[in-house]
Amino acid sequence: MRHDIDTGQNQAALELVPLYAPIIAQGVSAATAIGFHQRVGFLYYRTGQLEQALEHHNEALRLAQETQDPHQQAMVLNTRGTVLMCLGRYAEALDDFTRAADLWNSPARRLHRTFALDNRGDVYYYLGCYEKDLQAREIALPLYREFAYPIAAAECLSDTGACLRAMDRTAEAEEYLHQAWELSQSLQDGYDLVQSLNGLALLHAERDDPASWRLAEEYARRAATEAERADLPHGVIQGFSYRALACLKQGRPKEALQFSGQAVDLLRARRHIEGAEEEIYFIHSQTLAPMIIGSRRAKPCNKRMAR
């Protein structure tokens, strides 16, 4: 699931909404009104204004239910579920994705149903239900390949790698992340390229050997560079934070503090970066500790890192 924020073009598009809202209010077809609220909700989502996004998706769902069109309802539920997930309302998000999958449960909608089940896997990940997340990915990946949808396959490979890492199945995780990296490179897909590089950076940073830490630093450096090129601020922030962690592991706390400080500064400049705050502030606290106590080793912390 793509959870990045673009405050440029999407913010400019939001400025046009007041011009169209009166036209929608005067009366248009249900499909046009649903499409309007879905698009406006997406713009608010992409600019981190999640409560406003939810309001528009709620209205889109109300209109879709009046049409009694299962496909329209499923489309809205699937997008609303993403917003609910980013708000941390996981039970509601699971319900939306499940309802969407049920509405799409027909041979003609197999790919759409896969999207909903794959999104449900994201919720299971955040809840720590890794076995259920992995099951969702194992269902989705063959279907994405069957329907020749390589961008979705690359994202699914990266998500599978993240799940396997969380399950401590690191060798398998590395294999899936490498597959995601190679596929996204061939597609020139910046989002999945950055996701896979950051996944590999974190995987190697968590290992216990200097060679892996050096690899982690290089993967994180490349991730931040690619993220800047693709205008993916979450990827830049994660790249800096994982590079900080790799520097810290190599006994270079001053450099670690520099990179974690850059990550925190970027994070503060954003209204909302889903899933990043706990992780980045945890890394920042690790890099501060050796500077404060005059040691090259970070102060132990029991706080579990988020994705």
Interval 276-295: pLDDT, tens: 555 555 555 555 544 433 33
Structural contact between residues 122 and 274, judged by C-beta atoms closer than 8 angstroms: no
Handedness of CA 69, 72, 75, 78 (dihedral sign): negative
Kindly indicate the confidence band of residue 37, based on its pLDDT and cuts at 50, 70 and 90: confident
Q: What is the per-residue pLDDT across 136-182, written as a single tens digit (0 to 9) for each?
A: 999 999 999 999 999 999 999 999 999 999 999 999 999 999 999 99
Show the CA angle centred on residue 266, arms to residues 263 and 267, nearest 5°.
85
**Two tokens, residue 299:** 């102060």
Kindly indicate the confidence band of residue 84, based on its pLDDT and cuts at 50, 70 and 90: very high
What mean pLDDT do residues 256-284 have? 67
Please report, rounded to a whole number, the percentage of residues in the chain having pLDDT higher than 70: 79
Euclidean distance between CA atoms 297 and 301, whole angstroms: 12
Q: What per-residue confidence (pLDDT) applies to 301?
A: 26
* C-alpha distances in Å from residue 209, one per residue of 108, 205, 252, 284: 50, 9, 15, 22
* C-alpha distances in Å from residue 64, one per residue of 36, 71, 264: 12, 9, 41
Please give the residue that has the higher pLDDT: either 219 or 238. 219
**Two tokens, residue 85:** 């997930």
- What is the three-state SS of the chain? CCCCCCCCHHHHHHCCHHHHHHHHHHCCCHHHHHHHHHHHHHHHHHCCCHHHHHHHHHHHHHHHHHHCCHHHHHHHHHHHHHHHHHCCCHHHHHHHHHHHHHHCCCHHHHHHHHHHHHHHHHHHHHCCCHHHHHHHHHHHHHHHHHCCCHHHHHHHHHHHHHHHHHCCCHHHHHHHHHHHHHHHHHHCCHHHHHHHHHHHHHHHHCCCCHHHHHHHHHHHHHHHHHHHHHCCHHHHHHHHHHHHHHHHHCCCHHHHHHHHHHHHHHHHCCCCCCCCHHHHHHHHHHHHHHHHHCCCCCCCCCCCCCC
- 48-56: long-range pairs with CB below 8 Å, 24+: 48/5, 48/7, 48/270, 48/271, 48/272, 48/273, 49/271, 49/272, 50/83, 50/86, 50/87, 50/272, 51/87, 53/83, 54/80, 54/83, 54/84, 54/87
Residue type, 70: P
Structural contact between residues 156 and 122, judged by C-beta atoms closer than 8 angstroms: no
What mean pLDDT do residues 231-252 have? 90
For residue 59, pLDDT over 50 is answered with yes
Q: What per-residue confidence (pLDDT) applies to 222?
A: 97
For residue 268, pLDDT over 80 is answered with no
Please give the residue that has the higher pLDDT: either 145 or 14. 145
Euclidean distance between CA atoms 177 and 173, whole angstroms: 6
